[in-house]
Amino acid sequence: MKQGYSETEGKCYPLFFACKNDCLDIRIDGREKMKAKGKLGLQGFLSFLFLAAGWYLMQYFCAYVVLSGSMEPEIPTGSVVVVDGRKKEWNPGDVITYRRGNMVVTHRIVEKSEEGYYTKGDANAEEDAGIVLEKQVIGNVIVALPWLGFGIIWLRQRGTLFFLAVGAVMLFTIQQLWHGRKIMQENKL
């Protein structure tokens, strides 16, 4: 008898977390095996491409959540801004993301000088205090995704991921129990 199965009147049924096909005698011809291997190889290749593209993009692009309304209405609070770090020279009118102390700020360049850049939030009445040096600039904003940041902030709160993981395990457990019950009913056990 296979481990994880019970046997009743010559039939087997899955116990918790078991796969129903383990008790079936399935014979696959050579052509089907080749198809399965081809599909598996294609999935592996596509996974590799996806990971390689992700690695490449992470080298140059960053995403940040906008926490204030200083760039409204163009970039609302709670937006996610995607920043391109490849460009090394910016001009007035460009929206850049830069480091100021331990904060990351996204504002528009209003003036360029030999020392650096003067910036201002679109919703602010006055320019930011101080100059932004070129070495502080992370990159320019290429896209802003409104309200997506609220979901990210919620997920990063303490305990949220734990409760989501517990919920996922509970759903999986319920699905497995339901599936086992269905198999038992089909086999009239």
Residues 84 and 136 in one domain: yes
Which DSSP letter does residue 117 get? E
Residues 70 and 121 in one domain: yes
Phi–psi pair at 34, nearest 5 degrees: -65, -40
Residues 45 and 98 in one domain: no
Q: 16, 33, 59: which is the final residue of a domain?
A: 59
Which DSSP letter does residue 12 get? E
Residues 139 and 160 in one domain: no
Note the pTM of the prediction, 2 decimals. 0.62
Residues 72 and 126 in one domain: yes
**Count of structural domains, the chain:** 3
Per-residue pLDDT 10s for the chain (189 aa) are 444 444 444 444 444 444 444 444 455 567 777 777 788 888 889 999 989 888 888 888 989 999 999 999 999 999 999 999 998 889 999 999 999 999 999 999 999 999 999 999 999 999 999 999 999 999 999 999 999 999 888 878 877 878 888 999 999 999 888 887 777 777 765
Q: Is the dihedral of CA 50, 82, 100, 133 positive or negative?
A: positive
Residues 74 and 37 in one domain: no
Max distance between CA atoms of the chain, in angstroms, equals 87
- Domain housing 130: 66-147
Residues annotated as catalytic are 68
Residues 116 and 157 in one domain: no
Residues 34 and 50 in one domain: yes
CATH code of the domain in which 104 resides: 2.10.109.10
